[in-house]
Amino acid sequence: MSREQRPEHISDGTPAEDAALSSSDSEQGMVSNIASTLGNHKGKLAIGAAAMLGLAVFYKWREHWLAKNDPDEYARLRRLKAAVGAGKVPQPPNSPRKG
């Protein structure tokens, strides 16, 4: 069988050609594996995304509620957010926290 008649996936034994085929095959295998994993778990991924969205909405609502109804706790929350955003570890206040 000549090279023109040989299917693409069959190599003629040269190391360079074998390496190119194995690299291509491994990439295709990895892509198909990822695609099948995502396909098999898309329901779980959707539930996780919905849960994260729900948490984001809740915390945004809580922040607005605290701003309106509890200014001290809202100020504490703002300090914590600023410290986390700056990459600093927040220090606990000296006064006791409301419970």
Annotated domain spans of the chain: 1-40, 48-99
Tell me what pLDDT residue 20 has.
52
Tell me what pLDDT residue 59 has.
94
Residue 3 banded pLDDT, cuts 50, 70, 90: low
Average pLDDT, the chain: 78
C-alpha to C-alpha distance for 94 and 97, rounded to whole angstroms: 9
**Residue 51 in contact with residue 43, Cβ under 8 Å?**
no
C-alpha to C-alpha distance for 63 and 45, rounded to whole angstroms: 27
In angstroms, the Cα distances linking 2 to 8, 9, 10, 15 are: 12, 14, 12, 19
C-alpha to C-alpha distance for 43 and 8, rounded to whole angstroms: 37
Tell me which of 43 and 14 has the higher pLDDT.
43
- For helices 42-69 and 15-40, the axis angle rounded to 10 degrees is 60
Q: 0.85 exceeded by the pTM?
A: no
Query: pLDDT of 37-67, one tens digit each?
Result: 888 888 998 999 999 999 999 999 999 999 9
Q: Which of 66-70, 83-87, 92-96 has the lowest mean pLDDT?
A: 92-96
90, pLDDT greater than 80: no
